[in-house]
A and B are shown apart, each in its own frame.
Chain A
Amino acid sequence: MAQRPTRTSYYEELRQRGYSRRDFMKFCATIAAYLGLEATGVGQVVQALENKPRIPVIWMHFQECTCCSESFIRSSHPIVADILLDKLSLDYTETLMAASGHQAEQCMRDTMEKYKGEYVLCIEGSVPTEAEGVYCMIGGRTSLDILKEVGAGAKAVIAWGSCASNGCVQSAKPNPTGAKPIHKLLSGVPIIKVPGCPPIGEVMAGVLVHLITFGRIPELDRIGRPKAFYSKRVHDTCYRRPFYDAGLFVETFDDANAKKGYCLYKVGCKGPSTYNACGVTKWNNGTSFPIQSGHGCFGCSEEGYWDAGGLYVRNQPFPGFGIEADADEIGTAAAVVTGAGIAAHAVMTNVRKKKLINNLIKEGKDADKEL
């Protein structure tokens, strides 16, 4: 991915690759719909992709499994992969770039210098902080070191996936590498969290197109996720929701209710606590999503989902109370203990305060006789 002498627009690049105007317009309409733009927004997307020079992108891979990249290149529209991956001017990305070694590092350095304050930094993976960050080294440097340097000159940072957004599996207890999400290590630059393990490809494309079209980061919620994709719970857009409201639940995965497609709430579906676009956008060209396949959502886009108990249990266990004990079991046990304590106290009261009680009883009986 050598530097090009002039920065062409996305449209020009696409035409050179043989896409027709019609293909281009279809892509713009699709992505505008994903972004939740109104009809006139399509025109804005078209204009931006026709005129704006390509945004230089540095795409870093730290502690991750590359599932985000995999998801991204499988987004439904072929142009998504083409425009955003081939043409996005991915100046540096370990997984997909042709260059390697010093050549690749030089490439990144060139982009950082030439487009200082302009490039978008995309990050997959969390960053280890224990043992001075040696658990993730690239080109002889720690990822922490690289993040600080590359992050400082970025226009915006996109934290792809749950690793970069909230730590995901690496930061699950006991977190031996001290893995941290990007927002805990980088400040002074806008960070867009796109959580999910992986995030939906269309969502990733949508975030990038928004950046290109409007030249600014999309509207974020309080946690820092794009509102267009993360403002609704999976539960709110779930096609099994009527079963939930009716109180019709799958009790076990092999029961009749499972066959009928009832709600998976009781077999651990975390949809009611998970904010993502799965129910609407779905996966693999809009084919399906976990709940549609009969498997509850396990909340992959939520913070700390690895530590939130079993993937098939709705109630989380409590640390220090055994592996399986949930709030209800602990509460019931505490209520029994309390009841026993009360019984003991009641017995003790009749012993220790016997005189007091007998006086009251006698006084009452005496008064009764007088009446």
Chain B
Amino acid sequence: MSTHNLRRVFVWQLPVRFFHWVNALAIVVLCVTGYLIGKPPALMSSGEAYERFVFGWIRYIHFVAAYIFFFNFIFRIYWGFVGNKYANWKNFIPTNRKYFQEIWQVIKIDIFQMKGKEHLAVGHNALAGFTYFLVFILFAVQCFTGFGLYEAMSQSWIAGLFAWVPALFGGDFALRQIHHITMWLFILFSIVHIYLVFYHDYVEGRGEVSSMGGGWKFIEEEAFLKEEKEEALSDIT
């Protein structure tokens, strides 16, 4: 039984945390309103149509959230080039062999829970990073299909930039279908994402959950002593 002396590491810069929570909120709003747009609830009413604008508001909130989501996403891409090393785009796109080795290690240790060397990732681990890359692609798909659908009812030049999308798919039918199923991929991702954050906090005790609040994670000080962090970790655990 050892006692861990932990050191505070500043991992998530304020813009990253800002992006994360704006994104999370936007996705929740978009999924809820999007689901309602796809399957509106039955509202029995004897009122006249002019008295209310319920569905109009739902759609309006969806579109506002979509703009926020879109620009927030663009901002995050920008931050991938100017942010700290944990925010850098290289965390998400595999550029070397080591990245794939790390992905495999995370799958072994964390997913299949095979016995082996525990893995230290101060920022994103490679599997998480790569998953976020795939999720970023989903973000793009959702922006393209969403604004493609929105373009027909908008005077905005921003929506107009996506006018080619419906033409590419032959019309709105296909776009709508893609947009709808991608929403579910977002939901599935969120479920797994939230679970894994708690999982890491639970088994590693480095403050994974709170890190998106203050930006801090707490890393065993042995990890700072040795050149090879991986080796240090095997001693820690």
Task: Give me the interface of A with B, judged by CB distance under 8 Å.
Answer: 166, 221-223, 232-233, 236, 242-249, 251, 257, 265-266, 270, 272-275, 299, 302-305, 308, 314-316, 318, 327-328, 330-331, 334-335, 338-339, 342, 345-346, 348-349, 352-353, 356-357, 359-360, 362-364, 366-367
In contact, B3 and A363 (Cβ under 8 angstroms): yes
Chain B residues with Cβ below 8 Å from A249 are: 40, 42-43
In contact, B180 and A315 (Cβ under 8 angstroms): yes
- Complex Cα spacing A274 to B56, Å: 19
A244-B55, A247-B58 given as contacts; is B167 within 8 A of A222 (CB)? yes
Q: Which of B167-225 contact A (CB under 8 A)?
A: 167, 170-174, 176-177, 180-181, 183-184, 187-188, 191-192, 195, 199, 202-203, 205
CB of A163 to closest CB in B, whole Å: 15
CB of B140 to closest CB in A, whole Å: 19
In contact, A275 and B171 (Cβ under 8 angstroms): yes
In contact, B38 and A328 (Cβ under 8 angstroms): yes
In contact, A248 and B49 (Cβ under 8 angstroms): yes
A318-B181, A363-B3 given as contacts; is B52 within 8 A of A246 (CB)? yes
In contact, B177 and A342 (Cβ under 8 angstroms): no
In contact, A330 and B173 (Cβ under 8 angstroms): no
- Complex Cα spacing A200 to B195, Å: 55
- Complex Cα spacing A349 to B114, Å: 10
- Complex Cα spacing A359 to B171, Å: 58
The interface residues of chain A, by DSSP majority, are classed as helix
In contact, A265 and B40 (Cβ under 8 angstroms): yes
Chain B residues with Cβ below 8 Å from A246 are: 47, 49-56
In contact, B173 and A303 (Cβ under 8 angstroms): yes
Task: Tell whether B35 is near chain A: CB-to-CB under 8 Å.
Answer: yes
- Complex Cα spacing A316 to B167, Å: 19
Nearest-CB residue, chain B, relative to A358: B1
Chain B window 26-54, contacts with chain A (Cβ cutoff 8 Å), 1 for yes, 0 for no: 00000000010011101111010111111
The interface residues of chain B, by DSSP majority, are classed as helix
Number of A-B residue pairs having CB atoms within 8 Å of each other in the complex: 149
A and B contact pairs by CB, cutoff 8 A, 5 listed: A223-B167, A328-B39, A335-B184, A346-B199, A349-B113
- Complex Cα spacing A334 to B43, Å: 28
CB of B121 to closest CB in A, whole Å: 16
A247-B43, A349-B113 given as contacts; is B171 within 8 A of A273 (CB)? yes
Chain B residues with Cβ below 8 Å from A363 are: 1-4
CB of A195 to closest CB in B, whole Å: 9
In contact, B42 and A251 (Cβ under 8 angstroms): yes
CB of A180 to closest CB in B, whole Å: 13
Interface size on B, residues (CB 8 A): 53
A334-B184, A338-B192 given as contacts; is B55 within 8 A of A247 (CB)? yes
Chain B residues with Cβ below 8 Å from A243 are: 49
Chain B residues with Cβ below 8 Å from A327 are: 38, 177, 180-181, 183-184
Q: Which of B134-187 contact A (CB under 8 A)?
A: 152-153, 163-164, 166-167, 170-174, 176-177, 180-181, 183-184, 187
Please give 13 more A-B residue pairs, beta carbons under 8 A apart, in addition to A275-B171, A314-B38.
Answer: A246-B54, A247-B43, A249-B42, A251-B42, A274-B172, A304-B170, A315-B38, A316-B177, A318-B181, A327-B38, A328-B38, A345-B111, A356-B237
Chain A residues with Cβ below 8 Å from B44 are: 257
CB of A29 to closest CB in B, whole Å: 30
Among B45, B163, B177, the residue within 8 A (CB) of A248 is: B45
- Complex Cα spacing A357 to B205, Å: 9
In contact, B49 and A242 (Cβ under 8 angstroms): yes
Chain A residues with Cβ below 8 Å from B187 are: 331, 335
Nearest-CB residue, chain A, relative to B169: A303
- Complex Cα spacing A302 to B202, Å: 52
In contact, A248 and B43 (Cβ under 8 angstroms): yes
- Complex Cα spacing A365 to B135, Å: 39
In contact, A245 and B55 (Cβ under 8 angstroms): yes
Chain A residues with Cβ below 8 Å from B152 are: 232-233, 236, 275
